[in-house]
Amino acid sequence: MIQTRPSETKSSIIEKLDDDILKIARKQGIKMEVEDLEEIAIVYKRLLQNRLPKLLIVLDDECESDAGFMEKMGDPQRQLLKKAEAFVVSSLSKRLETNFYIQRYKPIYPVAVFSDEFEALKWLQSIN
């Protein structure tokens, strides 16, 4: 497993865990905005040299997002930028919110929700 020094954006901390796996942990107390998605995408394109990432996204119970954030995440053009997503949540409310996102936007790549980061990582590693 490859680990590099984390990159930091206004809203998140991004770590390269493997050749094509990035861990994105949202900073506590930050409300995610649409612009944050572009900043994160720039970082993962740089870290992976434009290869499609498999994302391990860690959501804390207090993370929030503005009205257009989820819609932008589900945009069909943004879906072309990812190979897979594994969300790690620790509360029922975040699991429900994440499942709503999956059902509403129906990503074209594999996506799953986990309560354990290690299990999420194993799942991502199993995807080619």
Q: In the structure, what pLDDT confidence band is assigned to residue 24 with cuts at 50, 70 and 90? A: very high
Write the CB contacts of 49 (distance below 8 Å, at least 6 apart in sequence): none
pTM of the predicted structure, to 2 decimals:
0.88
- Give me the pLDDT at residue 64, please: 79
For residue 108, which of 49, 52, 68 has the smallest C-alpha distance? 52
Write the CB contacts of 18 (distance below 8 Å, at least 6 apart in sequence): 1, 2, 125
Identify how many contiguous H helices and E strands the chain contains and give both numbers: 5, 8
Looking at domain 7-125, which of 3.40.50.2300, 3.10.310.30, 3.40.718.10, 3.30.750.24 is its CATH number? 3.30.750.24
- The string of pLDDT tens digits covering residues 91-100 is 998 899 899 9
**Measured distance CA(70)–CA(73) in Å, rounded:** 5
